[in-house]
Amino acid sequence: MTPTGDPHPDSLQAEASRLAQQAREFRLRMSVIDTQTQSALDTTRDRFGRTAHPGAAADALAHRNAAAVEAYTTHLAPHADALLGAAHRALDELPPTGPLNAWREVLDSLATSHTEIIRVLDRPAVPDSAAQGVQYALVWPHLAAWADYGSIAADLAEQHHEPEPGLTYEERQSWTARAHAALRQGGALDLIESWHVADGRRITLAYLVEDDDSTVVALCGDPDASDWEIIGHYVHEYAAGQALPRAVPPGVLRPDAASRFNRPEPVPEQPLQELLREIVEARTAGDVSEVLLSATQEGVGAGAMVRLGHLLYAAEEFSDALGTVRSQQIGARIHALARQLDSLIREVHDAAEDLGATVAVLPPHRVPKPPRIRPRPALETAPPAAPPPRTPTTARRP
C-alpha cells in the first residue's frame, strides 16, 4: 500500500495483467472450440455448403455451447467483474481523446453479457437435459461477445502500466537525424510491429540497420511519411515493450459486422475447383457456358469471380482505413485491380453467352483413354503347374 492507503501502482499493474490474461485465455480456448465446431459442421454439409444432416449439425452446436460455458466458468466467471472494474478505472484516467464513449459502451455490453451468463450458471438445469441445451443456446451470444470483445477490456485494464521516461528532446533530435542519415546511406528501418497509444500517437518498433549493425528503436508517427521521430532505443524487443506505453485496443474495419464467433450460416457456393472439374468433364459448349455464367453471377448467390471482386474491395477498404501513406497507396493499387477485375468479369460473362450460342459439342476423335486394368484370372482357373525339379547330372569323362 502507498502512504495514502491506495494500492501500489506495481500491484495494480500486476493484478490488471493477471485479469487481462484470463480474458485472453478464454479467447484462445474459444478459438479452439470454434475451429473444432467448424470442422464438425463441415461434415454435415454438402459440397455447396448447405446443411445436409441437420441433426448432426445441431449436436455440433450443442457441444460447442457446452464447451464454451465450461471455458467461461474456468477462465472468466470468477474474474469478469474485477476485469471490467480495472478497465473502467483505466478508462477514466485516459486523456479525453480517442473513442472513450465507444469503449465504455463495449464494457457495459460485456457487463450485461456477464450478468446473463452468471444467471444461468447460478440456476443450472439438469445436466445433459433438453432444458440445459436451451439454457446454453440462450447464453451462447453472450459467450461469443466475450470472446470477440473481451480483449478490449483486457487492453484497457493494462493501461495502468507506467512507461519508463523517454528520451530528452535533444536525444530524440540526435537519434532521428542519425536514422535519416543511415537511410540516405543505404541503411534500413526493418519494421517489427506498431500500435496506437492512449494519447493518439502511433508507435512502431523497428530495427535501425547501420553498417551491418542493428538497434531496436521506437518511432513515433507514420514510418512512410517524413515527419516521424525516434523516441527510444533498446537492447531488445522485450525491453522496448516494457518501456513504452501500452497499446489501446485496435479498431475494426466495420463496427457493425458479424462477430468471428457468432457468424451466420455460410451462403451456399460452388467451389472453384468444382467449376474447373465441370469444365474438364463437359461435352458441350452449353455446359461450359453455364459454368462461366455461374462464376460471374451477381447477387445473393454470387459466383467465384464476383466474390473475388468483393474480396478486393474489402481489402481496399481495410488498407485505406489504416491511414498511413503507404497503406493508402496500396489501397489505390488494390482499387485499380478491382476495377480491372470488374471489366474482366463482364468480358467473361459475354464470352460465356457467346460460347453457349455456338451449340457446339466436342468432336468424336477426342476419345477418352480408358484406364489400364489388367484382366484377373477366373476364380475356377487352376494355377499353372510347377515345372518338375531338375536332377543334377554327373559330368562324363571322355
* Distance set, CA 56 to CA 41, 43, 51, 52, 317 (Å): 8, 9, 9, 9, 38
Give pLDDT, residue 384.
62
- What percent of the chain lies above the pLDDT cut of 90? 69
Kindly tell me if the per-residue pLDDT of 1 is higher than 80. Answer: no
pLDDT for 398 equals 42
Q: Between 173 and 2, whose confidence is greater? A: 173
Q: What 3 state SS string does 196-253 have?
A: ECCCCCEEEEEEEEECCEEEEEEEECCCCCCCCEEEEEECCHHHHHHHCCCCCCCCCC
Return the minimum-mean-pLDDT range out of 43-57, 126-140, 188-202, 373-387.
Answer: 373-387
Strand arrangement, sheet containing 229-234: 188-196, 202-210, 213-220, 229-234
Residue range 43-62: average pLDDT? 91
Residue 259's pLDDT is 81
* pLDDT tens-digit series, residues 67-124: 999 999 999 999 999 999 999 999 999 988 779 999 999 999 999 999 999 999 999 9
Confirm if 291 and 275 have CB atoms less than 8 A apart: yes
Comparison of pLDDT for 386 and 333, the residue scoring more? 333
Question: Which pLDDT band, with edges at 50, 70 and 90, does 146 fall under?
Answer: very high
**20-31 pLDDT, tens per residue?**
999 999 999 999
Residue 262, pLDDT above cutoff 90: no
Q: What is the pLDDT of residue 391?
A: 59
**What is the structure's pLDDT at 296?**
96
Sign of the C-alpha dihedral, residues 122, 127, 128, 129? negative
Instruction: Provide the pLDDT for residue 381.
Output: 59
- Give CA–CA dist 25/388, Å, rounded: 77
Cα–chain-centroid distance for residue 72?
Answer: 22
Q: Which pLDDT score, from 0 to 100, does residue 195 have?
A: 94
Band of residue 165 on the pLDDT scale cut at 50, 70, 90? confident
| Across 305-330, average pLDDT | 95
Average the pLDDT over each of 50-59, 179-188, 213-222 and give the range with the smallest value. Answer: 179-188
Mean pLDDT (whole number) for 207-223 = 90
Q: What is the pLDDT of residue 311?
A: 96
Lowest mean pLDDT across 12-16, 31-35, 76-80, 153-157: 12-16
Average pLDDT, whole number, for the chain? 90
Q: Which three cell numbers stand for residue 259?
A: 462477430
The reported pLDDT for the residue numbered 247 is: 92
Q: Is the pLDDT of residue 310 over 70?
A: yes
Q: How far apart (Å, rounded) are the C-alpha atoms in residues 240 and 298? A: 50
pLDDT at 397 over 50: no
Using the predicted structure, report yes or no on whether residue 392 has a pLDDT greater than 90: no
